[in-house]
Amino acid sequence: MPELPEVETVRRTLENFILNKKIEDIKILYPKIIDDDQEEFVQTLKNKTFKEIDRVGKYLIFKLEDVAFISHLRMEGKYQICKKGDILSKHDHVIFVLDEGMELRYNDVRKFGRMKLVDHDDYKNQLPLSKLGPEPFEIDYLELYQKLKKKNKAIKTVLLDQSIMTGIGNIYANEICYQMHLNPYTKANVLSKKRVKELVDVACEILNKAILQGGTTIHSFSANGIDGLFQVQLKVHMQKHCPLGHEIKKVMINERGTYYCPICQKAKR
């Protein structure tokens, strides 16, 4: 699933291609991708010009002159820039026909991605964005500490809770825990203020590194043909051994595949 660095890579890549391009038409080949009335979605965006692309957590916000829509890539969604007349893939579900002979195509093998019209200026206070917590780059560690004190759950599970802190998914949660030498089963409410500050610092460090490398290529993630390189720096996720040579263990925590080193991330009694 694309996480914050992957979505940021998509945002930056698309900015180079679609800003100031006008939507001449929209072809919706799989209507469930659109959370609004299909006809309303098309008519609202048609003949509008892309002016800006914002990102909140794992959501992209496409801003046109006076309207906007959000897009969540979910498991395997991606955008591709194509020329008019290029052969359609069977997984191309929404086609934005642009001027100058271009098309912006939303491709999604699993069809889990969603798009929704939102207010141009107040989208952060509308659902689903209003339910999201701050990003690691924005959160105050004391605020996070107070949130974690109320969570008697495994820290790995809490890191994936987007209402507490948004943008971190399974891959980076595993990497954050490893860099902190933090056992993923550790209850969130036992972390000290010092450890919570470290958590925020480490999360920002890892996410920033991943953004600089274009994200992580796992399975089919690609930002218009630009593959992320951070996968070469992963310490535990989908690895057999940690950097110190210890065998990595894979377990399920709250139904999510969790990779950790039992030696480096030994549980504290």
- CA-closest candidate to residue 78, choices 7, 171, 173, 164: 7
Candidates 5, 6, 58, 156; catalytic one: 58
- Catalytic residue, candidates 3, 76, 135, 175: 3
Query: Is residue 245 packed enough to be buried (19+ CB in 10 Å), middle (13-18) or exposed (0-12)?
Result: exposed
DSSP per-residue codes, 148-196: HTT--SBHHHHHT-TTTS-S--HHHHHHHHHHTT--TTSBGGG--HHHH
User: Contact 209/3 with Cβ under 8 angstroms?
Assistant: no
Distance CA 141, CA 228 (A): 29
In angstroms, how far is the first alpha carbon of the chain from the final one? Answer: 33
Kindly tell me the sign of the dihedral angle through the C-alpha atoms of 86, 88, 92, 98. positive
CA distance 216 to 6: 7
Active site residue 134: no
Q: Pick the catalytic residue: 2, 5, 136, 184?
A: 2
Whether 8 is catalytic: no
CB 198 within 8 A of CB 180: yes
> Tokens standing for 269?
């009694």
Active-site annotation holds for 15: no
Burial (0-12, 13-18, 19+ Cβ within 10 Å), 54:
middle
Catalytic site includes residue 58: yes
- Which residue spans within the chain are E strands per DSSP? 23-28, 52-56, 59-63, 68-72, 77-83, 92-98, 102-108, 114-118, 249-253, 256-260
Find the catalytic residue in 27, 250, 256, 262.
Answer: 256
Q: Please give the Cα distance from 124 to 136 (Å, whole number).
A: 16
| Active site amino acids | 2-3, 58, 256
